[in-house]
Copies of this chain bind each other. A is one copy, B any other.
Amino acid sequence: MAQGTLLYAQSGGVTAVINATASAVIAEARARKVKVLAARNGILGALREDLIDTGKESAAAIRALAHTPGGAFGSCRFKLKSLEADRARYERLLEVLRAHDVRWFLYNGGNDSADTAWKVSQLAEAFGYPLHCIGVPKTIDNDLAVTDTCPGFGSAAKYTAVSVREAALDVAAMADTSTKVFIYEAMGRHAGWLAAAAGLAGQSPDDAPQIILLPERAYDEAAFLAQVRKVVERVGWCVVVASEGIHNADGQFVADAGGAKDSFGHTQLGGVASYLAGRVKEALGYKVHWTLPDYLQRSARHLASHTDWAQAQAVGKAAVRYALEGRNAVMPVIVRGSDAPYRWRIEPAPLAKIANHEKKMPASFIRKDGFGITERARRYLQPLIQGEAPLPYGRDGLPKYVTLKNVPVARKLPAWKE
């Protein structure tokens, strides 16, 4: 049995499989007889000394965690500043870690969280405290550098492709006398990975989605409307997938173009799909429907990809191994061996290479006209949505998601005022 405690925390937007990572972390640490605490709401729980004793959870609960979406310990949107600017917070953090004999800290998140993990990983040297900090990847945005893909993305991608294919069958059936254009808004503020994944729903240019709008290309309204018209005239209907982050040539987000007010002067929250739907209706006169799946796309564990689910667990397991081996400032990343069959392995990569880098889609993934994806993008994306992750359903017709007890650890320190 290793000396000390492992602290695990979840950060940033949660996913359908971040709890699969948590489950793997806890199971792997248990197998190695290491005690695991979880910080409630990410790094904030560590600062607040709001810790959870995962030892109080049954083995069955930890197994069920692997198929439960959301973030079982709570997440946060909070970024630590530099050591100089945030010294009081770092000192408090170390105080809490010391009080609970935390020697290993696993921070599970996306870009901002990798930055936080990297900063914490530097504390050992700065303060002379023996801490091993491992970043654990997670983000539906798929924008972490170095790693082949990010746990959470594959499941959201599968949700997107399946939902677009299903909705397209609906639109195709109704187009003669009803909706001719359907617009799907995908998450992705800076990179169009999820919108691109919708491209897996079809094979030919006439299959849905016939148009994909990506933030990597400037939104040109005239070209977009002309393309919609062309598709409707050729196919009879048109499915558009738009990334929430599309912007015009001046860099203005299309989602911000509105700031619409209703007749009472209230702000109407819109978004890209709502805006595009309004433009198609006004400019082309087609009947339009649109969808904003929002959180549904990142919490749909019922449609998780097996590849994604397996990778989410693999990075959790590797993170524990790296920590106990005494590594610091690394992240277990996914390395692709081949596309088809998809082969991958986990390797450690320096957090410094990952924090604050943002992986955009390569230009070679985007079709010349900007409205679709290339074969190369397909080869990259295809394996990420493959396979279905097992999910038990109850007699009530709902998935059997677990609610952990989340028993708090007794506080040893005075309360902390932020």
A residues sitting closer than 8 Å to B (CB atoms) are 10, 13-14, 16, 41, 44, 68-78, 158, 161-163, 165-174, 176-179, 182, 200-201, 257-264, 266-270, 274-275, 277-279, 281-282, 288-296, 298-303, 305, 382, 385-388, 393, 395-399, 401
Residues of B within 8 Å of A162, CB to CB, are 302, 398-399
Q: What is the minimal beta-carbon distance from A404 to any residue of chain B, in angstroms?
A: 11
Q: Are B268 and A268 touching (Cβ within 8 A)?
A: yes
Complex copy number for this chain: 2
A296 touching B166 in the complex, CB below 8 Å, given contacts A10-B173, A71-B173, A178-B77: yes
Q: Are A182 and B295 touching (Cβ within 8 A)?
A: yes
Instruction: Show 23 A/B contacts (Cβ-Cβ < 8 Å), sorted by A.
Output: A14-B173, A16-B166, A74-B173, A76-B178, A78-B177, A161-B398, A162-B398, A166-B296, A166-B299, A166-B301, A166-B399, A167-B295, A167-B296, A167-B299, A258-B262, A258-B266, A259-B263, A269-B281, A269-B290, A290-B294, A302-B303, A385-B396, A386-B397
Q: Are B303 and A44 touching (Cβ within 8 A)?
A: no
Residues of B within 8 Å of A179, CB to CB, are 295
A176 touching B269 in the complex, CB below 8 Å, given contacts A169-B70, A263-B257, A290-B292: no
Closest to A383 in B: B397
Residues of B within 8 Å of A178, CB to CB, are 76-77
A78 to B178, CA, bound (A): 10
Q: Are A296 and B163 touching (Cβ within 8 A)?
A: yes
Closest to A70 in B: B169
Residues of B within 8 Å of A44, CB to CB, are 176-177
Contact of A201 among B70, B76, B78, B398 (CB under 8 A): B398
A257 touching B262 in the complex, CB below 8 Å, given contacts A170-B299, A396-B386: yes
A177 touching B41 in the complex, CB below 8 Å, given contacts A172-B70, A289-B295: yes
Residues of B within 8 Å of A293, CB to CB, are 291, 293, 296
A294 touching B294 in the complex, CB below 8 Å, given contacts A44-B177, A262-B259: no
Residues of B within 8 Å of A73, CB to CB, are 173
Counting chain B CB atoms within 10 Å of each CB, the highest count among A168, A174, A295, A396 belongs to A295
A396 to B260, CA, bound (A): 41
Residues of B within 8 Å of A302, CB to CB, are 162, 166, 302-303
Q: Are A269 and B295 touching (Cβ within 8 A)?
A: no
Contacts A166-B401, A167-B294 aside, 19 further interface pairs with beta carbons under 8 A come to A69-B166, A69-B170, A70-B169, A73-B173, A74-B172, A163-B300, A166-B296, A166-B301, A170-B299, A179-B295, A201-B398, A257-B263, A260-B260, A260-B261, A269-B277, A290-B292, A386-B396, A387-B393, A388-B397
